[in-house]
Each structure stands twice: as structure tokens, then as C-alpha cells.
Amino acid sequence: MATKKKKALVIVESPAKAKKIASYLGSDYDVRASVGHVRDLPQKAADIPKEFKSESWSNLGVNVEAGFAPLYVVSPEKRKVVKELKELLKNAEELILATDEDREGESIGWHLADLLEPKVPVRRMVFSEITKKAILEALKNTRDLDMNMVEAQETRRVLDRLYGYTLSPLLWKKIRPKLSAGRVQSVAVRVLVAREMERLAFNKAEYWDLTAYIAPQSGSTKDVFEAKLAEIIPEGASSFQSVASGKDFNQQGQLKSDSTAYHLDAAGAKKLAQELINAKWKLEKVDKRPNRRKAAAPFITSTMQQAANNQLNMTARMAMSTAQRLYENGHITYMRTDSTNLSQEALKAAKAVVLDKFSAKHYEGPKQYTKKAKNAQEAHEAIRPAGDNWQTARQLGLSGAEANLYELIWKRSVASQMSDYEFLTTTYTVQAANTRFRASGSVDTFLGFQAVMRLGNAAKEDTLMPDISEGHELFLTPAKSKDAEDQSPTNPTALYHETKPPSRYTEATLVQKLEAEGVGRPSTYASIISTIQDRGYVNKQGSQLVPTFTALAVTKLLENYFPNLVDLKFTAEMEQSLDDISNGEAERKPYLEGFYLGESGLDGQVKAKEESIDPREACTLNLRGISPSVRVGKFGPYLELQEANGDIVNASLPAEMTPGDLDDATAMKLIEMKKAGPKALGMHPEEGAPIYIKVGPFGPYLQMGEDKKPEDDEAEFVKPKRVSIPKHIELEDVDLDLAIKFLSLPRRIGHHPEDGKVVNAGIGRFGAYVQHAGKYKSLDKEDDVLTIEMDRAVELLKQVKGRQAATPLKEFGNFPDTEEPVAIFEGKYGPYIKSGKINVTVPKDNDPQSMTLEEAVKMIIDKAEKTNKKHPGQMKKKAAKKAPKKKATPKSAAAKSTNTMTTEKKASKKTTSKKTATKKKATQKKKSPAD
């Protein structure tokens, strides 16, 4: 009996999404996942089909000689997926492409249709949320593939390939191997470098002001308020001038040329404070001003990332990963969107929440926020709770990161339909002699949208001002300031301030900057920020993104020789051109020809300028105020100083040192230490070996014993013991006794009171730590590695347990033939698989939720083999089972084009129209310089 055909084969990107949608469509539909992209441009030489290897353009993977036709290939791990989908299609009456409703999703859909060669009708199904109502509605209202979107995505992919594969090899030759350039990546790095250079050029300025504590009654401690000096009549002047604050000074530490503010110095501030003690004080003016604040628009991708970073301390990548899970589980709408629009269903749902939880007065809808980000792409809804019944995170049973992000989205969406927040600001202007002081406070008069934003948070306290009328005499009270120069009870008190350099970018502010400039896509910011860190262009210090010396060198080269390619305006115009192609208002071929070919094209520019770029000059940084040059070498940055006699002295820079950390004193100290060579402290009394202070790539360290020489006997040579010198220890303070103590580390503190296992203290590459049962915790600044005791060690180790006890993103079960669990956790640098002592980073393009136990086990075994460690199966003294062949994993961008090369066609054949050509290709994903 013949098997009944399915109504349709429905293809989505991820298994989690497929499972959810299958539950809504029922058994008549076969819902399967492509697991991301099924083909892409070749990532390495081995991926290029034999018939194309001899072509001059084959390494690019783009036929620049024939309309920029991309050469698509299917990766080995995706061949099985494609084969399975082809088999399933034989048993279906139609093919439904249900990939995401954006350029990326449209591209994946086109590639699937092209590869599967369906003999049945093909429909495109789109939706912005995964709820039963939305899915069934989308099934009724399908459309054709949007070839403009497909073409725009392919143009973007080709553009990134041309940019990366043309410029990256130049960086390898001129600066150092393994560097990369990227269309948006390099611009993002330039933004960070420009801010760092501003900081390096910054000269601080000092300024003073006064603060006074005032009461309406003499000697009273009731109704006291604090006022700050705002204006002064300088000696010899006849009118008030504002007192200078930080905003009045320029980068050079001088008052801005257009500033009329009076710069109060230390002597003047202290003299004025004394004069005002006996002055008459009165309330000159009362200004009461009602204020209103409107609710923000619902989240789009970039604003969600910013809020998650600022309020939840989530990285952009973590925010997108968490949002992806919320979307696939049907809790929120699609999280890659530039639109602030809300559907009628959403507007009704928001109204229901406001009326249920607050009052009719709190509702001010329906409100639409039509303003979109620059270069906004395909219309979606804003990011909001899915469906027409907006439940809270608790009602949905969410926990951890998902609950926190969902609550942020829920509040923002509800607040967008609520009334304005109203508050009353009262400002007092107090006059004393030739000065004016100001004080202000505010009182909430109607919470409006703040009623939902403050849910679950501590109540905000009003800053009440005492009820005093104009002209009332006021009196000084004892000083309360903790910031006073001295702690004497003087009032008013003179306070010192200094200007601060421009703040470094955080992930949130970098996203804000790129979006404001129209650079890149909000949906790509997370991967861009991860990429610039992975490639060694940026380090994170707390929440700050700090460019490295390598970033400075690469940016300098690109600015000097290819300024347009890292120009914000030029890059934004590229985005606009891609949007024009997406909208059918421009063609891809003329645009790509103008960008890449001809004398002014990228290829011609690189060939013309390559010989004129001096590698030594490109690798050399002459930083303001630093006597030695900084050189970016193959093994990292180092200092170089040419002395008066012509000798060159080189000294390594510590690996963690950034441009902003380096000053001339530090640089010269490293140079002098290198010239002096290792400092001998003496002989170890027990070991009979010499002890030296040396400087290496990770900073100063102690060494006991001699380095190996070529003539030394390998069998008899004893490797010297080394230990880093803690950063807070001055080298001048390290004597033989202290060195011996450090070299004796790690030391045993004792046995942990809970499990009896040993607790040690020691110093590693990243500083002093305590260690227990395979867990490490860095010591705080006030802790001494030589004296720390058990109580403090246990307190620190509890913090590690708290972090590591986080809820897994996914639990697979146990490692084969063991009781060791295998799970995925969210880490500082993204998701990672953990089993036993093995941690494996999940590749960026893999969806953690779609991975299988077999794939996880294979990755654990591979990691164990590469690092010469034992995986759980070996720890249990059982032979590890051969891991199944790795299943398909998601890929990053791949696209379709007007002219597309196939693995079967010969290079000499002309490509055909994208609407009629059938391509059979195959791809392997590996990071390209352009990605």
C-alpha cells in the first residue's frame, strides 16, 4: 500500500523552531530544519571544485570576470541534510519555505529551492512570531520568494568577500599574519581607536567649586538641603558669571574659546569659602516647573542589545542568543528587526495589560512609533511578547537570563502604550555676597509608564525641597561633605575636581554609535563585536571595549592608504546602496564593478599601493608623549628605542597592556630593565640556585635557576621555576626573602571545611588566586596571597560556585558509559559545552539548542585529543565510543545572485539568470577574513 503523501514539506532554520511549528501544523505536514545555511562561498582551497582551481578568481570564490557570479558549494556536513530533504520532498505535495522573514532567511529559502529542485509547487511562508494563530495565518497567506531581497543579500555577501579577501592578505604582509579586515568590522575598530587616540591626547584640567549645607532656621538640623556654587561676580567685574565645570574645558585642558565661565582655582575657592562663612544668605528665587517624560518606543534589535547590556550586563551576543531562544519557544516576536511598529493584536494586548494592572488613566494608546533606524530593512514588528495575551515571565515559567530579558521586553512593550510620566522639579537659587548657589529636587506627580518600568524594583525616593518662600533668610549648618579636601566642619566647603577623558565605548554605546551612523545592520552588531575581540583588535576591561596596539596599527594603515574603506559616511552609503538593490531601485553588477574594478576600485587600489607601503612603518606606532616607539610584531607589541649612540633597545610590552595604560615612565622603565638584563637577587638557601627578576611578555616575573643553553645536557637540565610578580608589588620592593616566599607558591592553606579537599593559594598568569577542587578564584586587591587564611579563601570560593551553578542552556544527558553530565552553558565569550574537566566553545554559527549529544561528545573528544587531556570516558577507564559523524550545523551568511557559478559548470560557460539557473554546489564553513 502506497504511503500517503504529506500536504507539504515545511523547512525552517533550526530544530527548535521546527519542533514548535510542527506541533501547530499537525501530522499532515513534515516540518524539518536546514540547520542554517546549506551552502556558501568556499572557505578554503580544498573547498574549490577541481574545474575552477585554475581560474584566477577561484580563491575569491567570486567570478569577478563574469558579473561577480558567486561560486557556491555545499559543505560536507550539510550534504546529508540536503539529501534527507530531497528524500522527504518526494513524499510531499508542495514545498513551503518558512525561513526567517529577512534577507538572510530569504536567501536560505532561495538556496533550498535551488538545491532541492522541487517538482511540486513552492510557496514562501513568513511570520514574526511562533504562536499557533500566527503560524496558521501565515500558512494561509504565503507568497513567492522576494528576489530583490535575495539579490541584496548576495550582493552583501559578495561585497564582504571582496573586501576581506583583498585587504586581509595585505595586512598579513605588512603587519603580521592572521589579521583580517572587514567591511563593518574595520569601521567598528576605527571608531574604538579614534576614541582611544582622543584619550591619549587628553590633558586634564582642575577646577574648583563650593558646596554648602543650608537650613531655613539658624542652628536647625531640620529641612537642611545641599546647594552648589553656580555663579560668581569675579573681582573687578560687575555681573554674575557661571562657574566653570568639566564641560567648559577642551581636550587640551584649557577653557573653551567660546566659554564665558569663570575658572575658579584652589586658592580662590578656599578664600571664597572663608568669606562666605559670615555672609548673609537668602533664598533669591524659587522655580517650580512641571515636567513630562514620554515612554520609549518598543525595542528594535539595537535598542534591545543596548538595554540588555546596560541593565542586565549581557553582551550583545548573549542578548541575541537569549532572544533567539525566547523567539523559538514562542514567547517573543522575531528579534532581528529595525521596525518600532506594533500590530493591532499587540496594541490590544498592551491595552489589556495596562487596564488590568493599572488604570484607564495610565493608558494613552493606541500609539505607533513609526520612526525607524537609518537604512531600516524589511518591515517587521518591534520586539514584543508574542500573541494576544501578554503573560509575565513568572506566568510563563521562565527563569535565569530568559526571564530577565523577557521581563525587559514585556515592560518596554507595555510602557510604550502608557501615559507620560509627570514630575515637579523645584529649583532654589540662593544668594550670598557675590555668589549664587543652586539646589533642586523633584517629586513624582503621576507615574504614568514608570508604574510598569518600576515593577519589582525598589521604590524611588523623592528629593523633597523644604517649603520656603522667596526672600527668606537662610543659615549655614555644619558641613556634611565626604569629598571635602579636609574633614574639618567648615561650611561652605571648597571641592576639587578634574576633567575626565572621553569615556571608552561599551558594547551598548558602540551599538548606539554604529546605528546612529547607519553602519552595518543591528542584527549583525553582536557578531561584529565578538569578531573584533576574537581577532585581537579589542580587549574588554570590565564593560569597556579597549583597542589593542594591533588595532592602532591596522587602523593607521587603512586610514593612510584606503581612507574611504574605514570612513563612517562611505560605509553608511554602502549600506544605502545595498538597500536600494533590496528595494529593486539599483542593480548589483554596476555597483560591484564600481567598488572592485578599475583604477579606483578596491583591487586596483591594493595593487597600486602595495609596493609603497613600508612594512616597518606600518608596524610602528609613535604615540604622543611616549619616548620609545611601539612596534607590532609577529609575537605581539614591543617597545623600540634608538639611543644616542645608534643602538636599538627592544623591550616586550606585557600582553594585557593597552595603549591607554602606557605612559612614558612605564615605557622607559621597561626599556631600562631590558638594558640592565635580569636582576640577580641572590642564591636560594636550600635549592642552591640563583634567583632573578626578569621581564617577559606577561610582565615581570621571578626565576629560580638558569635558562637552558645549547650545550646543556638535555637529561641533566632542570627547568627553572618561574612565578609572576603581582601587579601591586613594586619591583624595588622585591628582595631575596620576598622572592623566596613567592617561589614557594602555591602554598597549602588547609583543608576545605565542607569536603576536606585541599585549598591552595598561588600566582598564575592572571594574578594571585585560591584554588579548590579544580576551581579557581582571583584574589581581591586587599588579599595577600602569602597570608590569606581559610575563612577568606572559602568566602572567595563561594563566589565561584555561585557562577558555575548557573542553569544550563541545554542538558544532553550523560557522556556515553559514564555518569558525567554533558551540558551547554552561557559563558563570558558565548555558549560552551562542558563535561568533566573539558570545556569546548560552541562555534558561533551553531545553534546550541539544535545540537545533539553525539555532536557534543564528538567535540569533547576532539578537544581532549588536541589538548592531551582525558575526556570523561577515559577518566572512567572505559574506551570512548566512536562519536557519530558530526551533524549539520548552522552557517553564517550565504546568498543568491543574478549570475551564480555551479560545481558542474565549466568556468568558460556563461552564467544564466538567477531565476532560471539550477545550481548544484557544496560548501564548508570556516571563518573567512571577510566574516
Phi and psi, residue 113, nearest 5°: -60, -40
Cell 545595498 identifies what position? 578
d(C-alpha 247, C-alpha 466), whole Å: 30
d(C-alpha 689, C-alpha 702), whole Å: 12
Across the strands, what pairs with 546? 539
Question: What does each C-alpha distance from 299 to 110, 339, 519 come to in angstroms?
Answer: 29, 9, 19
Among residues 854, 846, 862, the alpha carbon closest in space to that of 822 is found at 854
Among residues 48, 148, 910, 274, the alpha carbon closest in space to that of 578 is found at 148
Going by the DSSP 8-state scheme, the letter that residue 48 receives in this structure is S
With the C-alpha atoms ordered 391, 396, 402, 407, is the resulting torsion angle positive or negative? positive
Crossing angle (nearest 10°) for helices 15-25 and 132-140: 80
Q: Contact, 181 vs 554, CB < 8 A?
A: yes
**How many CB atoms sit inside 10 A of residue 498's CB?**
11
Q: Could you give the count of Cα atoms lying within 13 Å of 399 in the half-sphere of its Cβ?
A: 5
H-assigned helices in 504-630: 507-517, 525-534, 549-561, 568-582, 588-596, 602-609, 615-618
Q: Return the beta strands (E) in 519-665 as ranges.
A: 538-541, 544-547, 620-621, 629-633, 636-642, 648-652
List active site positions.
334
Q: Contact, 829 vs 841, CB < 8 A?
A: yes
Hey, what's the cell of 58? Answer: 577561484
Hey, what's the cell of 303? Answer: 535598542
* Rg of the chain in Å (alpha carbons): 33
d(C-alpha 144, C-alpha 123), whole Å: 6
Q: What is the largest CA-CA distance in the chain?
A: 108
Question: What does each C-alpha distance from 9 to 28, 109, 667, 814 come to in angstroms?
Answer: 9, 13, 65, 33
Among residues 578, 526, 512, 474, the alpha carbon closest in space to that of 321 is found at 526
**How many CB atoms sit inside 10 A of residue 6's CB?**
18
SS3 for 422?
Answer: strand
C-alpha of 336 from chain center: 16
